[in-house]
A and B are shown apart, each in its own frame.
Chain A
Amino acid sequence: MISTRRFFLKTLMAGSALLAGLGSFLKPLVAFAERNSAAFSAKTEAGAIAKFFPDQNITPSDAITISVHDLVENGAVVPVEINTSLPETSSITILVEKNPNPLIANFDLSPECSGFIATRIKMAKPSDIVAVVRSQGKLFSARKFVEVIEGGCG
């Protein structure tokens, strides 16, 4: 009786190990890392930054350029370009201060990437756009005010 139970347990363990192994083997096909949902659902800029960059100092920097029109008619489509000359840029994060969820997007750059990202975002109302750049492990930021005539967040 005991031996069969041993056998059953062993098979169970071998089976689950096999499944785990198979799981890690399949993973590279859908290698999506864990998402920081709390930061994305934060309702204030300070809250989003506190959740996304816990206990880290952010220094304002002139080496980050936010290219965006000063005046935007349609807040649903606001083209934004972030450029930075900071060395070893490993991430670029875009926030819109007065959006319902200020954290818009985070881009993790590999060492091969230049310090450049262009995308299009929605803005609910006139607000600062904030770019946070991680360079050599430290955080730097720049901000730029954008006037929005018609909000893009309903």
Chain B
Amino acid sequence: MASSIKIRTSIRDGLTTVRSIIRHPMHHGYVNDPETGNAIPAHYIEKVTVHHGDKLVLQCDWGRAVSANPYLSFIFSGAKAGDALRINWIDNKGESDLIEAVIQ
């Protein structure tokens, strides 16, 4: 299966801009299914980490109110084209995914 994470990177003036989208429903658990009337259980990403090589550059703690298919963008320095960038996420059900991308 294709990874749930998409990454785009661009380097300019020594700063790397990372833009990523994770495919995830991000159910906050406060809403009912319109067809069955049953509550949709909470299902959302709690943690995201981003590593540049072995180095942790960004760690996110998310609550229920990050939008479905979360978008995350940030900027960091010290990377060059060809370096590895890894994004991991884990949700409240213990499901997780990761992607290894090459910075370009």
Contacts and interface: CB of A to CB of B under 8 A. Distances in A.
A113 B90 contact: no
Given A112-B52, A113-B75, A101 B63 contact: yes
Interface residues of B, number: 37
10 contacts: A28-B54, A35-B61, A36-B61, A79-B71, A108-B60, A109-B58, A110-B55, A113-B58, A119-B70, A153-B65
Interface of B: 15, 19, 28, 30-32, 46-47, 49, 52, 54-68, 70-78, 88, 90, 96
Given A113-B74, A113-B77, 10 more contacts: A32-B88, A40-B64, A77-B68, A79-B71, A96-B65, A99-B65, A105-B62, A107-B58, A109-B57, A110-B57
Interface string A110-127: 101110111111110000
Interface of A: 28, 30-33, 35-36, 40, 76-79, 96, 99-101, 103-110, 112-114, 116-123, 152-154
Contacts of B30: 100, 153-154
A114 B76 contact: yes
Can you list the 4 inter-chain pairs with the closest CB atoms, starting with the nearest?
Answer: A154-B31, A118-B73, A114-B75, A120-B67
Nearest to A81: B73
B14 to A, nearest CB: 11
Contacts of A28: 54
Contacts of B90: 30, 32
Contact of B61 (A101, A106, A118, A152): A106
Contact of A105 (B32, B55, B60): B60
A101 B77 CA distance: 33
Given A32-B90, A107-B60, A110-B55, A120 B65 contact: no
A105 B31 CA distance: 20
